Structures are given as structure tokens and as C-alpha cells.
Amino acid sequence: MRAHCRYYFNVCSDASQVPEACVSLQKAIQAPVYQVTNQSDCFWLGQLKSMEWELIDDQEPAAGVELYYFDGEQCRDGVARDVRIQLFCDPEAGVGKPLDYYVLEEDCHYSITWPSKYGCPADSGWTFMSMLYWGLVLFGIYMGVGCAFNITQNGAAFGPEAMPNAEFWQDVSGRAASAFEGARGGMAGAMSSQKTSYESVDNL
């Protein structure tokens, strides 16, 4: 662990401004995470385009999630720096406070531990997935039985016309497509207007 370093980072976005130390060193490169040492050295630790999400523990999703930024500024021997932000599930932590962060550096690889409620799975999310699974199973049975009945009993040709209540489902699919296009446009507008911010973290 390297003492007396300060870290600036953002989640899913570049830091809102480049640290002054980077600007003075002519390293005004947009990045999601920076390290500034007590000697005023400044390094960018990854790139937004190389962002990846993973579970901290595949066997225990409730442990939290981790965000990786790769392809940072070159370190010794030409190795690119990278950083991992671990959002450990802590329902009582709220968003999380800078004093609770812990930064570990090892061979040009950095790890930021961040206890936060946003690392916790939402109960409604797991219930929704279960309902979605069984809904799809039942829908598949309904469609299979309905198609088989229309083909064998009503003489329908194999294809869309064999679907049970075909006109209803064609209408539903058209409405769903229109709703999707509207939602996608609204989301794009909301994301473009969202402002970013950064946290300053001292490594103790």
C-alpha cells in the first residue's frame, strides 16, 4: 500500500474534472480514476471504454459488485495500470463515505474497497426475475399447445397464423415496439443531461 496518495474517481463516467496535478504535467486526459501522490505525480488508472462489471463472489451475489477500469497509463515494463472498485453490500452505509474507502496498490493494479447500499441486490429484482422465468415457461406452454390445436383441429398452416389469438399478439407486439422506442428515446435524453461528480479519497 502506498501512503499519502489521493484518488479521484467516478462510477460509470469520467471524473468531472482532471486533477490540477495532471494538468500541470500535461496529462489532461479524461479518465474515470486518477492517483495523485504527495510529490504531485499524477496517473490515470483506466479508461471508461474499458469498463467491466462483475460480481465480487459468483456463489454469493449478495456480497456486492465490482467495477473494473482497464487500459490506464503505462506503468513499469509497459504494463497498463488498471483499477477495481469493489462495492461491498452494506445496507447501513448509504451511498458510502470517503473515510470508509480503502485503497490497495500492487504491481500497477489498484483496488478501492467501497462499502455501500448500492452493492446490495434489490429484493424486488430477484422476485421479478423469478416471476419472469415462470411467466415465460407458462407462455411457452400456452403457445405450444395453442399452435398444436390450431394445426391439428382447425387446419391452420404451420407459421404465425397457427398462433392462438394471433391478431391479439400481433397487436401487442406492435404496441410493445412503439413503447420500447419511446422509452429508449427518453433514457437517452436523461443520460445526456445527467451531471457527473468525483470523490477525493486520501489513502491512509
Is the overall model pTM greater than 0.75, yes or no? no
DSSP reduced 3-state for 149: helix
Q: Are 29 and 42 a contacting pair, CB within 8 Å?
A: no
194 grid coordinates: 445527467
Q: Are 8 and 30 a contacting pair, CB within 8 Å?
A: no
Read off the pLDDT of residues 151-184 as tens digits, 9 standing for 90 and up.
777 777 777 676 767 666 667 666 666 666 665 5
Q: For residues 149 and 51, what is the distance between their CA atoms, to the nearest angstrom?
A: 49
Name which residue leads in pLDDT, 197 or 42: 42
Domain 5-121 CATH (choose: 2.70.130.10, 1.10.3720.10, 3.40.640.10, 1.10.357.10)? 2.70.130.10
Q: For residues 42 and 24, what is the distance between their CA atoms, to the nearest angstrom?
A: 9
Ramachandran angles phi, psi of 172, nearest 5°: -65, -45
Least confident of 66-70, 84-88, 124-128, 178-182: 124-128
- Model pLDDT, residue 9: 86
